Amino acid sequence: MKLARSWAVLDGRDYVLPDDVKAVAVPALVHRVSLKPELWIQERGTEQAVLESVRSVPTPSATELLRES
């Protein structure tokens, strides 16, 4: 979360967007993920696995975010 906040500040904002979280997901998570051996055999890297996971999560709309707060 701190990395996403920093990314937002560098973009001139004092709030975090879902896209900020997605932008920093690979550098923040790639070294923390261990792949199963079958993924190594398929030559799928950790970076690709994190990217696929991030892409599979839908980004909430602004109205959804307002409803939650």
Position 68 pLDDT exceeds 80? no
Give the pLDDT confidence score for residue 61 in this predicted structure: 73
Q: How far apart are CA 10 and CA 46, in angstroms?
A: 27
Question: Residue 65 — pLDDT band, cuts 50, 70, 90?
Answer: low
Q: Tell me how crowded residue 7 is: count the other CB atoms within 10 A of its CB.
A: 17
Which residue is associated with the tokens 């997901």? 25
pLDDT value of residue 40: 67
- Each residue of 4-63: pLDDT tens digit? 999 999 999 999 988 899 889 988 888 888 777 777 666 678 888 888 888 898 887 767
Token pair for 8: 């937002």
